[in-house]
Each structure stands twice: as structure tokens, then as C-alpha cells.
Structure 1
């Protein structure tokens, strides 16, 4: 290696060190108070035996009157808190104190999670640790495993977002990176698990409505109950929105339900069903000049094409069965069949139909027997996701809808076998070991194409690969409320089936090659602090990625053609970052009133490593610094009021790093009342109160050469939403 290369590498290391040092300098004052509070609380904390004696003196009726909903979330939070790494629980009761339009509202204030939403529809892009960093908006979501009630929804083609609905959930698990190991997730981004309300957790009838700016309206009705060993829950949601930007109308109908049966004291089973029907228009990215002039406009090309995404009847049927074999052994079985058809109706040039029918099966065995006399938990799992049917067909609007391309992906699958163990080597010291074997098959057939297939490519793909991904971690609790952790893991991101389409492989110089799986290695260190006053976490990670799958807009949409977007495997890349969360109870009154400050900060340091064309350029499409904060006062009577801020740094919109989405800060506020008996509630929620013109997301281009390119999607202007809920 030349001396100049050594100097360049030393310079990059120094730069990264300065970035981490600067970020930590900003964060440490905030975390110093939590750490000090933890030490103080630990010194005053009563002995466990005293707590046990106190509990023993209470009557059973006093404990159970508080309700089952709180205990279920508390149990989930305690389980997730034992994960030594980035993981959290989102309580839906907290989220529903304000607007809950899409999953973007649900996933707010989560460190490491960046959500980009444009047009007000449900086709949001969720990025965790840079997973699917430049995937298109409104497409199948990538790089994260999504689960419904612990059963996989993600298939070989990704995850269709219309089956997500935040209303009707009890809580949500967010498990970043390898912290989702127990769900068979081996992707860089980890997993998100949506957990439904049931007749046990939410008996009775709930009616809710919210509406406001841009003709937004959302109505919900649910009913749950229990009869003997059987419980049920049914939920229906209708929403619509005309939209902030021209051509962003949206309409959605969603119905879900579940039926639980306790077959015996040891065996219980639950059946789930979901149905979604969504239609929304797609609007255009703008130039910065257009956005600053009038962010509500669209382009002439999009006005002519009128792209209309019609997800006209997606459904999912699932079952989970749990068997408590004995005190130390349990078995969990899950199966989910989902169908997600889609029609994109556009006047020019290529309308399309697609359909993915996926079968997900999982089997998890857990043993909690001691290992060599030490407390231990061992998990053995099998997770299989398969395209029973997968296809896309494109038509020519100019040729009476004649077929111009027909792709068949049926038979593709992802297969994961995992073995993990957590052993307490000494009080407060745990060791985690795990290994996953991942089998990936992609079967693609271009049954017909009117355009010629690129030279060197074929109309058939039969990709098959096995990968072994180990995981090792350690956690230390020097104090009962302070935990330190470190881990190393490997990740595998299979290419989605829609990415394999030989007639449209990238023709970009230096990137013409068959697609292969994205693989990486991640090191993570951090700590957690939990007390009555503070809930804080800090994770620092660095991932070395090979063959990262990236998308790029090769040609923009015109009056006679759609935008040309293609995918490719990049040269080696680095993903590194800081994920910091801090919830601080600033004041607590004797009557139960409280003042709470919530913070979530994410640093994304993603860049190429010695790329032939781009050197060490930053990866585009995502802010390097992202912060969300909220200050809320809650009165014991049920009244609450709060103010919020969201701030993002500038970020590039092209791989050549020549154009940027500007930094922005937007302000929000909310107020509401929830009756002490939880029978009814009202709220008012305001966002972007200063009516800031800002870029919510970008359509990444290859090299804009510094020109103001139509790559910027506007965020919503000032908006107010009011809502009410009644339970009886």
C-alpha cells in the first residue's frame, strides 16, 4: 500500500474519531445525569427481600384490579430489557395520545430508526442502521424483518406495507441488528414485531375518530371479549386524505381480528386475520427551486401519467400455538399465509400488475434449565419464508395494454436455522452465543420481454447460497440499574426477488454484474440505565458491508416515460452510528403529576470504501444527524400538554455527493385529556407549526453534477389534527 493510501486511511480514522468524540461530547452531559441518578437510586434501593416481603403482604385483589394491559406491556418490556443491545418497546397507549395516521407516527422517538414518508400514504420507508438506505418510497420494504404477533410477514420479495396498521396494536417491539436473533432475523436492520390487542387485553367496545388538515380523516371501531376459554378481538379502520402535495390522494380500508383458545393449562392457540384495501396517487419529486417556490405542486410528467397505486385486496391468515411442556421447556409454532396483489395504473408508459403469495412458518423451542450449574436459556429455531406465488407483469399503455414483460419468482425462499444460548456466568455477568445457518434461493424466470436482455445476462436466474452467521455478546451489570454490553455479529440481506430482472440490470460502468446477497459484520458496544427517574440507552456500532444492494434513478420521469430505476451491488461500504435514547422524569408531584423529557438521537456515518468512482463518498438518502425531542406535562387529573421538535442535518441526494437536501427543524405541539377511568379521551395535535418548507425524502440519482435535479420530495406543511376515543 502506498504512503498516500496510508495517509488517507489515517485521515479517515482521525475523521471518524473526531465525529464520535464530538457526538459523545454532546451526549455525555445528558447521560451523566442519568448515570448519577442510577448511582443514587442504587444506594437508596431497598433490598430485594424487603420488596418480596412487601408484596407478600398484599391481597390478590389489590394486584389484579390494575388491569391486564399494563402487565402485558410490562412483561414484554422486561423481556426486551434483558437483550444486551439496541432494543425497545413502544406502548400503543402512549402513541395514541396524539395523531396516529401511519406507522411513521408509531415509530417516532426510536433511536436508530429513520422513517421517511411522503404524500401521506402508508408507503413509508423505514431504515434501521442504514438497511435499505436508498430503497424507493412506496415500494416493498427491505432490510428489516417484520412480524405480526411473532410470526414473519416478510417474504423473499420484502414486506408489503399495507398490512401494517398502528391502530389495533397493543405494543411494538423494535429490535435493532442482531438483537432480533431470537426471531430468526439476520438482516442488518433487525426486526419490528407488531403485537395485536386481544379480547384478554382490551375487552369492550372502542370507537375513535381523528381528522384535520388536508382533508385527513381516520375512524376506528373495535370490540373484544372473552367467553370461558375463548377470547376474540375485531378491529376496523377507515382513513382518507386529499394530501398536501398535488396528486397525493389516499384511501384505505383495514380490518383485522384474532380468536384465542386456551386448550389446556399448558396449550393455547390463537388465529389471526387481516385485510387491507389501499389506493393512493404518486406525486413527483421536485427541484429545490420548485420546492421553495411551491412545495404543493407536482411535475408536468406526473400530472400526465397520474400514477395510481391500487392495493386492491391484501390479506393475511395466521396461527400461533404455544405449549408449555414443563417448567423449563416450551414450544412456539407460528404460520402465516399472506397475499399482496397490486395494480399500478398509469397513463404512460407501463402500467403493471404484481402479486406475492408468501408462506411463513416458524418453530421455536426454549429451554431454561441450568447449564453446568449456571442459570441459562437456550433457543433453537427454524424460520422459513417462501414465495408460493410471485410475479410482476408490465403492459404498454400505448399498445392497448399489450404485455411487454412478465416475471415469475415462484419457488424463491429464505430458510434460517438458529441456535442461541444466554448463560449467567456470575451475578450480573451474562454471555450470549449464537449461530444461524441461512439458505437463500432465488428462482427468477423472465417468461416474456419485448425489450432485449442485456448482453451477458440471461432470462433465468437460479441463485442458491448457504451462509453461516455467528453472534457473540456479553453484558455486565455493575449496578442493578446500569448495564454495559458489547457484541459481534454477522448479517445477511438477501436480494429481494424483484431485484432480479436481467433485462433491466444496471448498465452503470463498474457495476455490471449479477446480484448477490449483501453481507456484513457488526461490532456494537453501549450501556443502559433504568431507574424511576431515568430510562437511557446508548449504542455505538460499526458495520463492514460487502455487496450492499443500492438503488439509483438512472433517468427521471418524462411526459412519455416513467423514471428508470435500477439496482446494483456496491463496492465495500461502512455503516457506523450512534443510537441514543433518554427519557428523563424532570419532576413528579405528590398527586402523580409529572413533567417528562424524551429524546432520541441518531448519527448515521455511512460511506463507500475506496469505490472506483466515488472513493469514500457518503451514501446518500439519509440524514447524518437526526434528533427528536418532546417535553410533556401530565396532570394527575388526566390533562396533558407537550411540545416537540424534529431536526435533521443536510444529506446528499446523489452518489457523487454534488447536491444536498437542506437541513431542517420542525416544531410540534399537542394537548389532550384522558379520563381517569380511561373511558374517553380527546386530543389536538399540531405539526410543522412554523409551516417550514423542507425535504422529507429524496429519489437518489447517480451523479447530478451539481445541477438542481428533481430529486426532492416535500414534507407536509403546517397541520392540525383533532381526535377523540370512547371506550365502553
Structure 2
């Protein structure tokens, strides 16, 4: 291991800065979306800071005079500054276009990404969140079974062996995570979104995200989007089939959009069959050209069997075999969800106000070691103000808001008798309340240089009322008041190239699932678990040019009280607070035209495109009393995703891709048991020229490599620890899509 790895406090930012300086010299150009074959995440087409953006569609008559009056107040000695980005939205006020969302996300002085649907929707089977986030550096997303995925951003939630913690998920700004913080992937339908926003770590300030990993927002189209009508059919390996359709349109001030999908699979592994139906719809009404309100509906019904984690030997020698206990207990994860919401946007001269409310009813039917019957009812609201104007001749952009997320879990657990409910084993009412307030200000001291400062305040409360006292009274309550400040700078080096740096705090509140109890381990109730706090230092660059996009970021997070697996009983991880840990790494994305004009040298020459996302993870304990400077388990040190695509102007594309984990990673905090390295070869081809029809065929793991896709973690493992999720074998998928 290199010296940089053997010293836990040594910064990885030094090599990041060196790479950054190299990139500043070497990378030319201006960007395209991945529909042209380049890497999607990252940045965006940056407006020329020397010019004022185009006026909004229907400006008030007094607007030019008002702007002129402000301009004359500029002090003669003030330097030239960027003009404010006016409240340009359309055709919908409540649902931004891809370009508008790109313009907004580029105001963040840190790691962010925006993935448009055309980056993955028409060229892959688009079955899981991995298909969306495959080319976002810093994100590790690996399927476990069905739609379930192990997701980590910058090492978030490594100890959560079930569901999700450490990343806040949203759908059209409405929380997918429950009020106590845990998330699930089964309600995500990759076919339903126009784009997906990724805010890493403290860069998710505006979502009220209080987690190390940040936030992901899945945005559905409106009836005002082009080509709102469509249908798609996908089918392939292991009995997979999906039918999806969408429809929408505009009628005067009204517009509407609905998308629905039904899918089923037999599964690669035994006991992994499942099916699901999902619907998302919205209806918008423009009260005036500057006021729009929109109502949302999302409903899901998912039925999924769970094959379970197995030993390393079983995963590598018999990957299709399910865990015996999962079959005996007929373990499943079934969810019915209804989510409703409203969002209203009001546009003023230099200010946009967004506000709304939501409610979620979720029923989890989950026979595992016990038969879990949980009924969730979450509700809340939000308000956000974005003000972008000249103050004393200097551009100033202020974003402030409040988010409220409250919820109640009617929690019942029964003895699992071969997949059926037995006697009641536990029962409680778990209540959560979360209120976050945030403010962030970007002041442009130069026309292309902004100083950014902000903070978030979170008040969170957790309360459990135990209704089953045969095993003692587990009732209790706790509350937290947490501040998370941040500061940074954003440098628009030229219209296609940004540099950024920031320092941010994050504070992650424990969910009801964090506690420790069992034979031979200390009993720590959920009320004694402290929030996880992190200070993150970040520096990077990103850009988009005609034949090149790039992202290069180095970061270091110094964490106190990280929620980790320090004890275990019966193979289950008990999550408590570690002392101090360090997460640091490098995130690099590249999209480049390697060759042009191979067979067609016309005005739109054919191209050979390279898409690549590389993540370096260095996560470790920091002089821990029990684990010293051991590496944190659960994520690979190196992760590379790359593809080389031939693309022709007529829409034809074809090429290979690779997923590479060159170094095995530990699955236990004691660093005694590892996964295995692997490399997967894939190939895809299709036709997509932006017209009404597209078709693709995709092969995955074509060499039929037996590998471990993801792993649960534990404090100390042995060769018989059932922690491993086998990856899927050779698979071929094909699909056809039509739109009008």
C-alpha cells in the first residue's frame, strides 16, 4: 500500500490539485449531452458572464426602466460584474427544462451532476438506479436483487445493509425517504424522468439534506415538454419484460402528463422473481404568465422475492443459489405507495418563489427474519426563494428556504412462518419530525468570480411509543438541533469552464434502525445514538465543450461519530457511533471525441466517443480504539466505468463498455475478509437520431464472469459469513421506443 494510504490524515487533495492543474492546461472545447456520446454528469453550458441573459418570455412593461435605473446607481469605481440571471423559465414555471436545470445546478461550487434521460433511456434497459448513475463519478451503485441497490456517494451509508441511509432521495422535490431517514429504490422508475439531479454532500443544502452523501432528485416531464406521448417495450434475459407508455399535452392554461409502466422478471438467482406497476402524473395550471401551480400523483405496487446474501464461496461457485433461510421463510419485500403533492411557482422581476406541500402513504409488507408490517404516513411542505439581482453594481444571488418532513410509522412485527404471519412479536408507533431552514448567498466580487456562503439549521425529533411490552418497554424519544455552515467560491474561467472550492459541514440524524443490542454486545438504544457530523473540503473543475466534457474533483471529509457497524450478533450488523473516520477521494469524469471523420467527413462527421467515470475511494478509521487505522468496509478503492462508442449522424451507434473493480475490498471493519476484483465486458448498439423511433440491443457481462456485485458489512467476518451478493451472469436485452 502506498504511503498516502498508510497515513490516514494525509490529504488526497494534493494529487487532486496536481490533476486539476493538468486539466486546466489540457482540456479544450464546449459540451454536448451524452445523447452525442459524451459523459452527462457535470456541468453545463455556462452563460457568458459579460452579457445579460435573454429577458423572460413576458416581461412587465416597467422592467426595462427598472433595470436601467438600477444600472445608473452603479458606483464608478466598482469593477465589472456578472449581470444577474433573470427569472427565465418556460414553457413551464414549475418544471425546468434540462438547460434551465443545468443553468441552475452550475451555480453550485461543488460536486453536482445532471443526467438527462437521453443519456441512458434509449440505449440501455434502464431497469435500476445504476443505469441512471453509471457515469457519475463518486457514486457507487450496485444492484442486489430486483430493484434493490446498494448506493453510496462518497462513502455514505456503508454500514446500512438494508435499504438506504446517507443519501436523500426526492421525486420532483418530494421526499422518497421516510421521515426518519431511510430510503428505498423500488419506487424509482428510470423510464419516468426527464432528468436526474445529483447533489453530493453539503452541496444538497437547498433540499434540506442532512447527510454525507447529499441528495438525488428525479424530475418527471410536464405536458408542455416536447413529444409528451410515447410507448416503449423492453425484454431480455431471465424473463425480463417491461411495457411503458406516456401521454400528455396542453389545453390553454392547463397541461398534463402521465407515465405508467409494468414490468416483471424471473430473476437471475433462485427466489428472486418479482413484478411491479408504477404510475406518475402531474397537472399544471398557469394562473398568470408569472404564476403556475402543479399537482402531482405517484403510485407504486411492487412484489419482490429476496434471494439473500450468501457466503463468498457460494457467491463465486454457485451464484444462482439463494440463501436457504430466505427460501424457507419465503422472504419478500412488497410495497404499496401513494404520493400526492402540489407545487406553486411565482415569478417576480428578480425573484422566484416556490412553495408546496405533500403527503405519502406507504405500506411495507416484508417477511424476513420476522414478518414486518409497517404503515408509513409522511407529510410536509417546503418554501424556497431565489433572488438574483445587482446590489451596488455587484451581482448577488440569494437562495433561502424551509423544508418540513414529519411522519408516523405504525410498526408491527410478527413471527414469520414460511412467509405467513404468526404471533405478534413487537409493535410500536414511531414518530419523526424534521424542520430545516437554509440560506446561501453568492456574491460576485468579479463578474466571473463568486464568493459563496451559507448555512442550514435542522431540528429533528424521534419518538417511539412501545405497544408490545412482553420484552420490556422500548419507548423513548430524542431530539437534535444542528447547524451545517458552508463557504466556497465559484470561478467561471470562461463560458465553458468552471473551477470551484468549498468547505461544508453535514450532520446526519440517526434513524430508528440505528441501535445495538444482543448477546455479548453492549445494549445501546436508539435514543443514545449521536448524529454523524462531517467537515468536507472540496476542490475541482468541470467543463463542457463541443468534443469534450470533464469533471475532476478532490475531497476530504473528516467525520465524527460516523454511523458504523461496530458490533454484531447472529450475522446482523448493529450500527452505533464510531469515534473519528476519514473519507477522501478523487472523482474524475471524461467524455471525448477520440477520432472524427472515420468514414464520413461531411458537415456532421462520424465520431468515436470515449465516456469514462473513475472514482478513487480512501475511507478509513482514524486511530480508532478498536480498529486502529483500518479501511472502512463496503466500497471498492477503485471503480471505473467506461465505454467507447462509434456514432454516426444518422443515429447509429455501437461499441463496447467495461466495468472494472481492480482491487478487492473488505467486508468487515476488522479487515479480515475481502471480495474479489472483477472486470465486466459489455456491448451495445442501436439507432437513435432524435426522431420518433429508436431501437437498441445491449449485452451485459458477455464473458459470463462470476463476481460479487455488492456486499453487506459486519464488524468481524469469517469464511462462512453470509455477506455477499452475486452479480448477474451473461444477459442480453433489447428495446423499441416510439414518441410523438
Bin for the TM-score computed over the shorter chain: 0.7 to 0.9
Matches within 5 A, 1:167-246: 167-246=191-270
Say which SS state the counterpart of residue 124 (structure 1) adopts. Answer: strand
Matches within 5 A, 1:605-620: 605-620=618-633
Distance across 2 between alignment mates of 1:405 and 1:54 = 61
In 1, are the aligned partners of 2:573 and 2:714 still within 8 Å (CA)? no
Question: For structure 1, which runs of at least 5 residues remain unmatched after alignment?
Answer: 1-9, 39-44, 56-66, 453-457, 557-562
Q: What is the aligned-residue RMSD (CA, Å)? A: 3.1
Cα deviation digits, residues 452-511 of structure 1 (max 9, x gap): 5xxxxx6222111211111101122344433221111110111113336x8x47963597
Matches within 5 A, 1:670-685: 670-675=684-689, 678-685=691-698
Equivalent position of 2:118 in the other structure: 93
Equivalent position of 1:263 in the other structure: 287
Q: Does 1:35 align with 2:27?
A: yes
Cα deviation digits, residues 573-627 of structure 1 (max 9, x gap): 1111111111112244522533221111111111111212111111101111111
Distance across 2 between alignment mates of 1:518 and 1:408 = 24
Equivalent position of 2:726 in the other structure: 714
Matches within 5 A, 1:110-121: 110-119=136-145, 121=146
Q: Does 1:417 align with 2:437?
A: yes
Match of 1:123 among 140, 148, 153: 148
Say which SS state the counterpart of residue 117 (structure 1) adopts. Answer: strand
Q: Does 1:665 align with 2:679?
A: yes
1:268 to 1:50, Cα distance in 2 relative to 1, 3 A: closer
Shift of residue 36, structure 1, vs aligned partner: 5.1
Distance across 2 between alignment mates of 1:721 and 1:191 = 30
1:15 to 1:204, Cα distance in 2 relative to 1, 3 A: closer
Shift of residue 550, structure 1, vs aligned partner: 2.2
Equivalent position of 1:4 in the other structure: none
Match of 1:165 among 144, 164, 189: 189
Distance across 2 between alignment mates of 1:710 and 1:327 = 60
Matches within 5 A, 1:120-159: 121-137=146-162, 139=163, 141-157=164-180, 158-159=182-183
Distance across 2 between alignment mates of 1:689 and 1:627 = 17
Equivalent position of 1:408 in the other structure: 429
Distance across 1 between alignment mates of 2:49 and 2:400 = 34
Distance across 1 between alignment mates of 2:625 and 2:524 = 10
Distance across 2 between alignment mates of 1:637 and 1:75 = 28
Distance across 1 between alignment mates of 2:174 and 2:483 = 23
Match of 2:483 among 468, 478, 486: 468
Task: Name the structure where helix makes up a greater proportion of residues.
Answer: 1
Distance across 2 between alignment mates of 1:290 and 1:259 = 50
Distance across 2 between alignment mates of 1:713 and 1:344 = 19
Match of 1:354 among 374, 391, 395: 374
TM-score under structure 2 normalisation?
Answer: 0.86
Matches within 5 A, 1:284-683: 284-311=308-335, 313-324=336-347, 326-346=348-368, 350-387=370-407, 389-397=408-416, 401-410=422-431, 412-452=432-472, 459-499=474-514, 504=517, 508=521, 514-551=528-565, 554-556=568-570, 564-589=572-597, 590-648=603-661, 649-675=663-689, 678-683=691-696
Say which SS state the counterpart of residue 295 (structure 1) adopts. Answer: coil
In 2, are the aligned partners of 1:515 and 1:568 still within 8 Å (CA)? yes
Equivalent position of 1:58 in the other structure: none
Shift of residue 261, structure 1, vs aligned partner: 0.7
Cα deviation digits, residues 357-394 of structure 1 (max 9, x gap): 1113110012222234310111120011101x213211
Distance across 2 between alignment mates of 1:315 and 1:370 = 43
Shift of residue 114, structure 1, vs aligned partner: 0.6
Say which SS state the counterpart of residue 513 (structure 2) adopts. Answer: helix
Cα deviation digits, residues 85-126 of structure 1 (max 9, x gap): 11111010121122111112111110111102122x122122
In 1, are the aligned partners of 2:16 and 2:553 still within 8 Å (CA)? no
Equivalent position of 2:68 in the other structure: none
Q: How many residues align?
A: 678
Cα deviation digits, residues 273-294 of structure 1 (max 9, x gap): 0111111111132222222221
1:340 to 1:553, Cα distance in 2 relative to 1, 3 A: farther
Shift of residue 331, structure 1, vs aligned partner: 0.9
1:505 to 1:314, Cα distance in 2 relative to 1, 3 A: farther
TM-score under structure 1 normalisation?
Answer: 0.87
Distance across 2 between alignment mates of 1:223 and 1:20 = 48
1:221 to 1:419, Cα distance in 2 relative to 1, 3 A: same
1:659 to 1:640, Cα distance in 2 relative to 1, 3 A: same
In 1, are the aligned partners of 2:621 and 2:632 still within 8 Å (CA)? yes
Equivalent position of 2:61 in the other structure: none
In 1, are the aligned partners of 2:210 and 2:509 still within 8 Å (CA)? no
Distance across 2 between alignment mates of 1:696 and 1:29 = 35
Further displaced range: 367-376 or 247-256: 367-376
Distance across 2 between alignment mates of 1:386 and 1:197 = 27
Distance across 2 between alignment mates of 1:358 and 1:640 = 45
1:82 to 1:49, Cα distance in 2 relative to 1, 3 A: closer
Question: For structure 2, which runs of at least 5 residues remain unmatched after alignment?
Answer: 31-44, 56-89, 598-602
